[in-house]
Amino acid sequence: MAPDLPPPPAFPGAIVPAPKPPAPTASVDSYALVGTALGLRGIPYRNGGSDPTGFDCSGFTQYVFAQYGVVLPRDVRSQFRFGTPIEPNQLAPGDLVFFTTTNPDVSHVAIAIGGDEFVHAPSTWGTVRVEHLGTSYWSQRYVGARRVN
């Protein structure tokens, strides 16, 4: 769907209002979304992958949300700027969880599934799997979380 664009200026030099931001996405059933994500466990990591033949982390999150009509940006940093920031104690199933793994900036994304667990497409030797936020590896690398809907 094309964004609503303002009409052309009535005369040269007229101020044109900025286009309207996209309408908020409809609410997604977070438990269904988590079920979809969990159903992809075992799929291999593939750098640049964004479909069930192989996923990288942001391709995985983008694919899962797309199944519910939510269009996420493709890369981790852009996904980190998408949605509403939430505090760790507000984390709920379906929230995006972000980490710093390969550089000092945000570099990895996963989907919270409840409790202290998340599902993600880890590095080159991994497959889509569930892990715990509370482990020393992930807790030390946690950067933040976003709620998409």
Catalytic residue numbers, as ranges: 57, 108, 120
For 100-130, b where at least 16 C-beta lie within 10 A, e where not — what string?
Answer: ebeeeebbbbbbbbeeebbbbbbeeeeebbe
Q: Is 115 left (phi over 0), alpha (psi -120 to 50) or beta?
A: left
